[in-house]
């Protein structure tokens, strides 16, 4: 579960925007707009709160914006009005390079209850975006992603449907360096199969890609098995298969993949593998994060493996 709000974004410290308080160091701070639960209960409107930030004279210096709890998120209040407001503000946020949508902790909303939406109107409004982060896969649509300057894309979810993975796989992002996708579990809408993931593993669309994270996934073992014949791996410095249900079979596949020796790091933290299997990775001679080992749950003779973030 995600239980702490972002403290940094776009390599900038995150600071909560306070209504009627001027922005300070606007170009060196990732400002977060959020409603405290008391404000929401007493009828404060998120859009009004956001508009106060947008009307600040220094808003045009803001490089990074984080959208936090916009109130009633678990009750069906979707993000689309917020997207609309940000789109309308494109002349006010003239310097915006990075945006994170839905920085909510589990105390504010379970990740799979976050009502995302069609965020594609952002792209024509902010064509120069360099970093995009999104939390919550329910109702999400990225649309046609064509952004020349985009270097980092992160999509966090308890489950991502094939449509999203497809939107990413077919995106036009020639300068993408960091791609992080939380595939999740089919219990929460993450019903991708390897057919959906292969286009990313064999992608030629991201020539600058050096970090690939296919995380938080019930497909972890299958992805690990496919790594050895995946053409994108040779580009990478970091391969991240953490937070998923990776077991011995997946670790053993990584050990014999044969194309990981150049990596700076293989991240498989939060996994279900045994020390014996993990020992087989020693031969790779690369930095490996295999921390946070997990035990599956057993009920009535059935064994259950859980990804790190689902509900």
Partner 1 sequence: MPANTPPLKCLIIGTPGDMRVAGFQEALRELGHPVADVISYPDWVLLSDDGRGDRLSSYDRVRVESPGRDPQALHAIRWRWQHPNKPSNKQPGNAIDDPSGSAASFFDVMDHIILAPTKRETVYLNHPQGILIASDKASTIEHLGGRDVPVPKQLGAMEGPGAGYERVRTAMLQSGMNRVFIKLRHGASASGVIAYQVSPTRELATTTVAMEQSSIDVKLFNTRKIQRYTQEEQVRALLDALCPLGVYIERWVPKAGVKNRTTDLRVVTIAGKARHIVLRMSKGPITNLHLLNERSGPEPLKRAMRSSDWEALIETCERVARCFPSMLYLGIDVAVHADLRKHTVFEVNAWGDLLHGITDRGQTTYEAEVDAMADWRGSLD
Tell me the closest approach of the beta carbon of residue 107 to partner 1, in angstroms: 4
- Residues in region 197-236 near partner 1 by CB under 8 A: none
Distance of CA 1 to the CA centre of its chain: 14
Per rule CB under 8 A, count of chain residues that contact partner 1: 23
Distance CA 297, CA 67 (A): 35
Cβ closer to partner 1: 6 or 253? 6
| Rounded distance between C-alpha atoms, residue 149 and residue 21, angstroms | 32
Beta strands in 61-194 (DSSP E): 64-67, 98-101, 131-135, 152-156, 178-184
Among 23, 30, 69, 244, binds partner 1 (CB under 8 A): 69
> Would you count residue 2 as binding partner 1 (CB under 8 A)?
yes
The structure tokens listed for 26 are: 């606007």
Smallest separation (angstroms) from partner 1 to the CB of 3:
4
Q: Are 250 and 225 in contact (CB under 8 A)?
A: yes
Residue 74 has what DSSP assignment?
G
Phi, psi of 238 (to 5 degrees): -130, 130
Q: In the numeric block, which tokens belong to residue 197?
A: 């993931």
Which residues within the stretch 139-198 sit at the binding site for partner 1 (CB under 8 A)? none
Stretch 89-128 residues interacting with partner 1 (CB under 8 A)? 105-108, 110, 113
User: Least Å distance between CB 24 and partner 1?
Assistant: 14
Closest approach, Cβ 2 to partner 1, in A, equals 7
115: DSSP letter: -
Least CB distance to partner 1 at residue 156 (A): 13
* Using rule CB under 8 A, residue 16 touches partner 1: yes
CB distance 270 to 242 below 8 Å: yes
Rule CB under 8 A: choose which of 60, 84, 118, 311 binds partner 1: 311
Report whether 253 contacts 227 (CB < 8 A).
Answer: yes
Q: Are 246 and 213 in contact (CB under 8 A)?
A: no
Stretch that binds partner 1, among 67-75, 192-200, 203-211, 216-224 (CB under 8 A): 67-75
Q: How far is the CB of 207 from partner 1 (least distance, A)?
A: 34
Q: Is 38 in the site for partner 1 (CB under 8 A)?
A: yes
Residues that bind partner 1 (CB under 8 A): 1-5, 16, 34, 36-38, 41, 69, 72, 74-76, 105-108, 110, 113, 311
């Amino acid at each position: 579960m995600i239980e702490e709000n972002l403290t940094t974004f776009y390599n900038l410290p995150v600071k909560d925007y306070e209504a009627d308080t001027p922005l300070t160091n606007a170009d060196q701070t990732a400002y977060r707009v959020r409603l405290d639960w008391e404000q929401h209960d007493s009828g404060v409107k998120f859009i009004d709160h956001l508009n106060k930030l947008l009307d600040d004279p220094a808003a045009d210096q803001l490089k990074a914006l984080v959208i936090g709890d916009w109130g009633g998120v678990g009750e069906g209040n979707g993000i689309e009005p917020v997207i609309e407001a940000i789109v309308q503000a494109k002349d006010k946020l003239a310097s915006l390079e990075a945006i994170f949508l839905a920085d909510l902790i589990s105390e504010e909303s379970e990740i799979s209850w976050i009502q995302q939406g069609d965020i594609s109107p952002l792209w024509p409004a902010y064509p120069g975006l360099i970093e995009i982060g999104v939390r919550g896969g329910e109702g999400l649509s990225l649309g046609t992603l064509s952004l020349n300057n985009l270097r980092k894309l992160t999509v966090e979810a308890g489950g991502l449907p094939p449509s999203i993975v497809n939107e990413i796989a077919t995106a036009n992002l020639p300068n993408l360096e960091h791609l992080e996708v939380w595939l999740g579990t089919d219990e929460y809408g993450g019903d991708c199969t390897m057919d959906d993931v292969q286009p990313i593993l064999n992608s030629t669309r991201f020539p600058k890609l050096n970090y690939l994270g296919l995380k938080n996934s019930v497909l972890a073992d299958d992805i690990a098995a496919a790594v050895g014949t995946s053409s994108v791996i040779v580009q990478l410095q970091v391969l991240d298969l953490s937070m998923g249900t990776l077991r011995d079979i997946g670790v053993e596949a990584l050990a014999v993949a044969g194309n990981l020796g150049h990596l700076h790091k293989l991240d498989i933290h939060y996994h279900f593998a045994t020390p014996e299997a993990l020992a087989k990775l020693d031969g790779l001679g690369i930095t490996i994060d295999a921390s946070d080992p997990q035990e599956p749950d057993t009920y009535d003779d059935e064994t259950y493996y859980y990804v790190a973030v689902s509900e």
